[in-house]
Amino acid sequence: MITIIAAAAQNDSIGKDNQLIWHLSNDLKRFKSLTSGHHIIMGRKTFESFPKALPNRVNVIITRDKNYTAENAIEALALAKDDEQPFIIGGGEIYRQSLDIATRIELTRVHHEFEGDTFFPEIDPEVWKEVSREDHVKDEKHAYDYSFITYEKKILNKYL
């Protein structure tokens, strides 16, 4: 099972200038909980937005630059083949390229619109089915309402 994990605003914005636009501590805790112990697959720009490789995960970087190297990271998608649930963690282009191969989306929907330069692709309801949702209202630690939503890919042909 390949899982896309993301946080996207109401207008699908996910970032600006290679940075997160909002801080929701529960979203970060959920991300850590779901991805710990797994491979996390990301584009080079997403990796470079972190101060260092994320701990307790195998950091896999996808890049067109054959000479690119990064400390504590692996640069081959095939290395995640033994992980029963690798996670695609961004950015926008990697999400778009992964929609066809992913079987699950773990999305934090931030119920606000933000200016951004990177966007999450549209989730096609003909392809994806919402299977769970947890709604949360803003509070002293969270400036925006948000929802944790899980989508699973619909099986279009039972013989596939």
At 58-67, the pLDDT tens digits run 998 887 766 6
20: its two tokens: 């997160």
Q: Which residues of the chain have pLDDT under 70?
A: 65-81, 156-160
What are phi and psi for residue 64, nearest 5 degrees?
-85, -15
Cβ burial of 56 (10 Å; 0-12, 13-18, 19+) is exposed
pLDDT for res 83: 77
145: its two tokens: 């309402």
Give me the amino acid identity at 99: L
pLDDT for res 79: 65
> Domains in the chain, start-ordered, CATH in brackets?
3-103+115-153 (3.40.430.10)
Reported pTM: 0.87
Q: Per residue in 3-25, pLDDT tens?
A: 999 999 999 999 999 888 999 99
pLDDT for res 71: 58
pLDDT for res 6: 97
